[in-house]
Amino acid sequence: MRLTFPRVALAALVLLMPPATYAFAQDQAPSSAPASDPSSAPSDTAPSTAPPPADAPVATPATAAPKSDKHPRSSAEIYKDLDFFGQVFDRIRSEYVDPPDEESLIRAAINGMLTSLDPHSSYMDPTEFDQTQQDTSGQFGGLGIEVTMEEGVIKVVSPIDDTPSQKAGVLANDYIVELDGKSIQGISIDDAVAKMKGPVGTKIKLTVIREGQQKPLYFELTRDTIAQRVVKWSLEGDVAVLRLARFTEQAYPGIQKAIKDIYTQNKDAPPKGIILDLRNNPGGLVDQAVYVSDAFLKEGAVVLTRGRTDSESTRYDAKPDDLDAKLAGVPLVVLINGGSASAAEIVAGALQDHKRATLIGTRSFGKGSVQSIIHMGDNGGIRLTTARYYTPNNRSIQAAGIQPDILITENVPDDLKGRDEILGEAGLNGQIGGGTEQTATTGASVYVPPDKKDDTQLQYAIRLIDGKESNAAYPPKADG
């Protein structure tokens, strides 16, 4: 068979891939982080570039997944198929009604090839790849303002400490009405946030209305690197609540800082218990899931990944450190729901299997696979599913999810009933299967009340730790 030059190029494009890969575990599960917060605006996934903590858990090789019995196609068969692809490509180029964009055609074909594998593999053009890196790093060029939308204008919820907005004097409850002299009346919150982001070192002018001031205030701010705040905490009486919205590179540092701040506010006394809220956390970086799990574990496996090759098969182990020693005697509850996916399920599964935490809520999403990001140079990158992951007890929760130790549902408003549940991974076309648990057949709720007083799951967890509720699953008891 003879290949023309364009077909040879296509063959090379398919058969040659750069080796740079990065592991992450994330799904497109709903996020509970407010879309109005530019410092926690929804992000995607990307390679982890942050150096591991000094006390990082140990990663060791694990056994690769069993090889498929399917007979591989010969080189001749593959080139024959590529020749057919080239014929179609040539026909489109020469005969389509309008001259097509050849680059777009090839990229669409590559994306189609990847998306045919499973719901989580895909192609990213250079812009999407760069955005993915930025989002999962948890850092971007911006102003450091948490905002919301109110009556068509942007209302400042809070300026973040030590950021351009805080240093310039922007205050909570200020209304931003213009950006660079242009009114933002009527634009979406996402568009407004996008306008405030930009390259570090660039300037932007804000026009602000402040209660008690007769005239507008004008600020010229220089964008700086803003760390996405993915961890928020509060003390409910003597119970600490840690809300982790996403597993970016800021996840473990955020947990560390939150625990330090809690002990400082509590005059170095431990809280009566800790609630780790992973509801509607869509996942993110595998290494961050391991670090967060290790914060509460002294030793033992955190997660095992198994792919086709030994390089994609790894066991991550916790090891003793000052943080888990400090928290060793503090009871732990983890909140999960139908939107807790992937990296969030790694953490929940590890803490459940080690009997370190009691899980409360509803069944999780059920994404038990790991994707690698492969950089393709100037062409962007690809997401490729390269492994399944297993909890310490060798459970694959693919398409099944993690069952809570205590099932607690929320009181869903009438107008949301029937729309608050998702089947999760089990409902996605092309999911890879291979789970060890029973596949989910019914939906799990993703609803979390906006007011914590109405949050049935949270309030039950608080009462459980306070001793006002009792359940055989709390505290968890080690086997034997």
Supply the residues annotated as catalytic: 342, 353, 367
Task: For strands 224-227 and 217-222, give the pairing.
Answer: unpaired
What DSSP assignment string belongs to 369-418? EEEEEEE-GGG-EEEEEEEEEE-TT----TTT----SEE------TTTTT
Helix axes 286-294, 251-265, angle to 10 degrees: 30
CA angle 424–243–284, rounded 5-degree value:
50
Neighbours of 364 (CB within 10 A): 32
Q: How far are the Cα atoms of 55, 208, 349, 401 from residue 443, in angstroms, in the given order?
A: 39, 45, 20, 11
Residues comprising the chain, all counted? 480
Task: For strands 21-26 and 203-209, give the pairing.
Answer: unpaired
Q: CA 442 to CA 358: how far, in whole Å?
A: 23
Distance separating the N- and C-terminal Cα atoms of the chain: 66
- Name which of 6, 20, 3 is nearest 379 in CA terms: 20
Continuous H helices in 169-242: 189-196
Cβ-based neighbours of 248, under 8 Å, separated by 6 or more: 43, 135, 136, 137, 138, 228, 230, 284, 285, 288
Q: Half-sphere exposure of residue 401, counting CA atoms within 13 Å on the CB side?
A: 30
3-class DSSP assignment, residue 145: strand
